[in-house]
Amino acid sequence: MKIGVLALQGAISEHLDMLEACGAEGIRVRRPEDFNGLEGLIIPGGESTTMGRLIENLSLGEPIRSLQEGGVPFMGTCAGLVLLGREAAGCPEQRLLGYMDTVVVRNGFGRQCESFEASLDLPFLGRAPFPGVFIRAPYIARAGKGVEILGSVEGRDIAARQGRVLTVAFHPELTEDLRLHRYFLQMAKNLP
């Protein structure tokens, strides 16, 4: 499977390594022509402010939109969860793609000193706990009816799916656990 990783800034090579380990073909996507033939797109962790501006400055909004309209599934991790949301609470300047009906809180757990690791209970990935790495992480404060919340930590929602869009507030790409990437690949495979 050909899966793109939006290669603006942040943990790009880490996601490509995960895809390779899953037996998928990961591709760096940063020019409009790179979007051809993708079967999925990952929006990695990084600085959401910077990534939002780069999408605009590099005119990538249009190719991303046509990918989404073409039914290609998206996965967003950390900054990706922010960018895929509908609204960033308290940050009206934040550029968003808005493919998931969520209100997100950027840096929702605090600054870097509050960044943490926690074992997560994510039933959609199986029984074993998932290693959650949260770095200046966001969370989902409100979600529309179409959004299924898939996990939470400290009473805050940190994983969700709405149709073809999957988002998590943590960084699976900084661990060795391939289950979330496998789930996303499966999700892409099973689409009608």
Q: Site residues (CB under 8 A) for another protein? A: 7-14, 30, 45-47, 49-50, 53-54, 57-58, 78-79, 91, 106-107, 111-121, 133-136, 153-155, 171, 174
Q: Which residue's CB is nearer to another protein, number 165 or number 173?
A: 173
Judged on CB neighbours under 10 Å (0-12, 13-18, 19+), 92 is: exposed
Catalytic choice (20, 56, 69, 78) = 78
Nearer to another protein among residue 4 and residue 73 (C-beta):
4
d(CA 97, CA 65): 8
Residue whose CB is less far from another protein, 2 or 107? 107
Residue 155 tokens read as 């009473």
Q: Which is nearer to another protein, 37 or 92 (CB)?
A: 92
Residues 6+ apart with CB under 8 A from 139: 104, 105, 108, 109, 156, 157, 158, 169
* Dist CA 86 CA 135 (whole Å): 21
Contact 6, 15 (CB under 8 A): no
In the bound state with another protein, the residue whose beta carbon lies nearer, of 36 and 50, is 50
**47-71 burial by CB neighbour count: b if 16+ within 10 A, else e?**
bbbebbebbeeeebeebbeebbeee
Least distance (Å) between residue 11 CB and another protein: 5
CA 34 to chain centre: 19
| 8 A C-beta contact, residue 1 and residue 189 | yes
Minimum distance from CB of 175 to another protein (Å)?
8
173 is catalytic: yes
78 a catalytic residue: yes
Catalytic residue among 33, 173, 176, 181: 173
Active site residue 171: yes
Closest contact distance (angstroms) between CB of 36 and another protein is 19
> Which residues belong to the active site?
78, 171, 173
